[in-house]
Amino acid sequence: MSQQNGKSKEVFIEVNNLKKYFPIFKGVFRRQVGAVQAVDGVTFDIYRGETLGLVGESGCGKSTTGRAILQLLKPTDGAVLFNGRDLTKLSPNELRRERRNMQMIFQDPYASLNPRLTVGKIIGEPLEIHNIGDAQSRKKRVQELLSLVGLNPYFVNRYPHEFSGGQRQRIGIARAMATNPDFIVADEPISALDVSIQAQVVNLMDDLKAELGLTYLFIAHDLSMVRYISDRVAVMYLGRIVELSQRDEVFDRSLHPYTQALLSAIPIPDPEKEAKRQRLILEGDVPSPANPPSGCRFHPRCSYATEICSQQDPEFRNIPTGGNDHYVACHHADKFL
């Protein structure tokens, strides 16, 4: 599927019908009795040089999607085309070589850095793994990367415990940049940081994107930050993409009831407007991904649901808004135009 908007855009990554199921075992003999459908038939494109924001509530499959794209988790089914090559079909050696071009920024800066290694070793490790340069050039490269992310290049001999959370995340970003990747999955890179530090890290990522021509998949549940950094936004619910369009189309003209409920939860800094607006409160709990509801997965919590919603899975269709492609999986999306 290509979401072209009348402009010439290069599709960099194609995700086609991606699935990741985790088996459920029971009994002494560990028989499989079911599966957690963490990601179930996700399809979207990422254009070269853009930031695609992937949002949704906890447990909807965002992080699993990012890890499955990078093959850190082996997909159950589907294809991931990176520069025209299907990553799911590559041999271990071929995938290892391709990993130079795609990296990940992890969520927790306290857990993602080895406390026994110095900063120089942590950032230089990808260079060693991929046999890039000699010892002297690697040391110089590490110092360049520290400067690039706004840290003192002479911190190479310090350990992670000597840094704050924001500084640790900068180290994680430097490590991700070490091999000059084209594509980076940022898995909630600011959720573990203080609010005062979050903007610094996001601005750093934005500056690096402009300077190095990077492409991001930015996974988050902070919608205000997603609106700030993303070019397009995909909304995920219970393992599936339910809405995808340009950032402003999703935030200003959302066509899916779940997206509308998410957006209504964003606080407005104006007390008068906040008091007057109508909040959309979702009823019930999120269904289990081990036993998802039939038809539209959102229908048990949707106030617009009708009989067809519980019986038929909605097509992920294009309903253009504002001159842009706008994909939505809802039987009643036309009523929100």
Question: 195-218 pLDDT, tens per residue?
Answer: 888 889 999 999 999 999 999 999
pLDDT at 17 over 90: yes
pLDDT at 3 over 50: no
pLDDT at 278: 75
Instruction: Let me know: does 120 contact 139? Beta carbons within 8 Å.
Output: yes
pLDDT over 70 percentage in the chain: 97
pTM for this predicted structure = 0.92
Sign of CA dihedral 268, 272, 276, 281: positive
pLDDT at 105 over 90: yes
| Angle (nearest 5°) at CA 231 between 165 and 213 | 70
Count Cβ atoms below 10 Å from residue 270 Cβ, excluding itself: 10
What backbone phi and psi angles, to 5 degrees, belong to 259? -60, -40
User: Helices H, strands E: what count in the chain?
Assistant: 11, 12
Question: Which run of H or of E encompasses 44?
Answer: strand 31-47
| Angle (nearest 5°) at CA 282 between 281 and 286 | 150
Question: 296-328 pLDDT, tens per residue?
Answer: 999 999 999 999 999 999 999 999 998 899 999
What is the end-to-end Cα distance of the chain in Å, rounded?
A: 23
For residue 241, the cross-strand partners are 236
Query: Which residue, 151, 157, 183, is CA-closest to 169?
Result: 151
Q: Enter the tokens of residue 93.
A: 């050696």
Look at 7-16, 229-238, 272-281 and tell me which has the smallest mean pLDDT: 272-281
- Burial grade of 76 (CB within 10 A; 0-12, 13-18, 19 or more): middle
Q: Specify the 3-state DSSP secondary structure of 333.
A: helix
Question: Which run of H or of E encompasses 21?
Answer: strand 11-26
Query: Which residue, 206, 195, 140, is CA-closest to 173?
Result: 206
For residue 32, the cross-strand partners are 25
Report whether CATH 3.40.50.300 matches the domain 11-109+185-197+204-336: yes
The pLDDT mean for the chain works out to: 92
**Could you identify the residue written with the tokens 């290069």?**
10
